[in-house]
Amino acid sequence: MIAKLDELRSRALGELDSIDTSSGLEAWRIRYLGRKSALTEVLRGLATLPLEEKRATGAAANELRTFLEKTLTLKEEAIRESEIARSIEQGQLDVTLPGRPSALGRLHPTTKLLRHICDIFMAMGFEVIEGPDVEWDYYNFEALNIPQDHPARDMWDTLWMDFETEDGRQPMLLRTHTSPMQIRVMESRRPPVRVIVPGKVYRYEATDATHEAMFYQIEGFAVDKNITLADLKGTLFEFAKRLFGEERKARFRCDYFPFVEPGVEMAIDCFLCNGAGCQLCSGSGWIEILGAGMVHPDVLRRVDYDPDVYTGFAFGLGLERMLMLKYGIDDIRLFYSNDLRFLRQF
């Protein structure tokens, strides 16, 4: 067996001396160091040899493998230098040319729009606050006028988890909306309050062109004395004009959300057809952009705000929906598919 290894060494070195290309070198590596090489077969057959012969043969085979690997590395460097020199001689490589510029990174379209919307509301006097992605049932539902047996819970497909506390397991969840921060902020502050809350929210639902399991939402609310629905309409109308253009028209219609009363949905005239009707607005001339309403008195009572003294409004908008409307994008999954052909457009 030792003689066989010596013969293998001589044959490998002889072939290696005649190789002068990278492709030939790779073929040599597979032939003499690959999983099906003669050297590998020797190592696999050690188990059948007597103990003394096994030790001697194993040591010799491992020594040969180490020697061939080092020789291969030296040959790779020599061939690489030879190829570079040959390219220079043939004029294929001009070392005086400037290097290729590195591609510059860009902000993700959701990040760009998120910052733009925050800037709009900050200019109107709102404070930007973030909250936890993992939330208690109390803040996500109960304190927002959605008790355990309320049918409105079916509006949110919730991802639940158990959290171990001193009192045992307590239900937690990945927040289904950013509205829980209404309660957290009002618990720690007295009016006046004027806040927007950007962040990710999560839904347990199948993804398609208009649904994602994770997306961005921006919650906004204001509480003070003598706030009315007219204040809500004026704030949102101003926001729509700054985001979609000064010529935009707005429409408010009744809607239902458990934590506001009354509830409304806001739509703007279609910026693609200017209200004439097209595929984007489904022929109606209007595009719904967000839901809103006046903060429910029971929500105010939970945070010890007297609803006879204080009133407020709240609204929530989906960030990706805004992007889809603004740029005519028809599939929400494109934002998180990491396709550079799509992202470079922004």
Point out which residues pair with 136 in neighbouring strands.
172
What per-residue confidence (pLDDT) applies to 93?
Answer: 64
Phi-psi region of 243 (alpha: psi -120 to 50; beta: other; left: phi over 0): alpha
pTM of the predicted model as reported, rounded to 2 decimal places: 0.67
What per-residue confidence (pLDDT) applies to 91?
Answer: 67
What per-residue confidence (pLDDT) applies to 298?
Answer: 94
Catalytic annotation, pick one of 197, 201, 260, 267 = 260
**pLDDT tens-digit map of 260-284:** 999 999 988 887 777 788 776 778 8
314 an active-site residue? yes
156 an active-site residue? yes
In the predicted model, residues of the chain with pLDDT beneath 50 are none
3-state secondary structure string across 4-66: HHHHHHHHHHHHHHCCCCHHHHHHHHHHHHCCCCHHHHHHHHHHHCCHHHHHHHHHHHHHHHH
260 an active-site residue? yes
203 an active-site residue? yes
What per-residue confidence (pLDDT) applies to 133?
Answer: 93
What per-residue confidence (pLDDT) applies to 294?
Answer: 96
Write down the CATH number for the domain with range 109-343: 3.30.930.10
Catalytic annotation, pick one of 9, 28, 65, 156 = 156
Rounded (to 5) percent helix, strand, coil in the chain: 45, 20, 35
What residues contact 341, with CB distance under 8 A and at least 6 apart?
Answer: none
Catalytic annotation, pick one of 65, 203, 296, 321 = 203
Q: Which of 249, 221, 240 is nearest to 316 (CA)?
A: 221
217 an active-site residue? yes
Domain boundaries, the chain: 2-89, 109-343
Catalytic annotation, pick one of 217, 223, 267, 292 = 217
Catalytic annotation, pick one of 177, 184, 296, 321 = 177
